[in-house]
Amino acid sequence: MTIGFRILTRNRAVTPELVAQFRALPVANVSDAMRRMTAAGPRLTRMHQDGTLAGPALTVKSRPGDNLMLHKAIDMAQPGDVIVVDAGGDLTNALMGEMMLAYAAKRGVAGFVLNGAIRDADAIREMNLPLFAAGITHRGPYKDGPGEINVPIAIDGMVIAPGDLVLGDGDGVVAVPFDAAEAVLAATRAKHDAETRQMAAIDAGTNDRSWVDAALKELGCEMPA
């Protein structure tokens, strides 16, 4: 075993049907369904114009500023994969730019999450393939390794295993563990349905706000009579 410089095989991944069902749901509701305990942090910024990121994770762990293993991951990716890279959050050198993104799009990659920097930001925004990154720099990457593919990685405390579901929208990025995906889907749908009913009540002027005063009283807040 060569720890730190190896490429493994992904043995499982969430199905396209499950990905499609999650794609229609807000990331915030998925986060709530997981008790608000999982997030990739506020540094990860949407670099594309619009649209939702959704797909099974193809994970990469790379030396900061080095994209050799990211290149290999793009070559390995299956259509619909989301390539997730833990490069330590370093922003000194970009991990990828316009040409790599164009090649990935041609191969059917669904998007990227990079705990590192990009360059060619204007072109990437125009291409509009879902991509979240921690920053932007014009300085290019190195291609020396080491790195690993299809190993568990972590970004700001959020663990992503190969084949986990990765989601991203304007609120950020969240990963749903493979084994919990069906349960999280059910909980997210229940949350989303409840919010839909609440929005309808707000629109109708019948939204019940009595819980606010009840919570304050329960907590011992002094209030006017």
Sequence ranges of the binding site for substrate: 97-100, 119
Burial 127-164 (b: 16+ CB within 10 A, else e): bebbbbbbbbbeeebeeeeebbbbbebebeebebbbbb
Annotated binding site for Mg(2+): 120
Q: 176 exposed, middle or buried (CB, 10 Å; 0-12, 13-18, 19+)?
A: buried
CA angle 137, 142, 145 (to 5 degrees): 130
Annotated binding site: 97-100, 119-120
Phi/psi of residue 160, each to 5°?
-125, 120
| Rounded-to-10 torsion of CA 91, 93, 95, 98 | 110
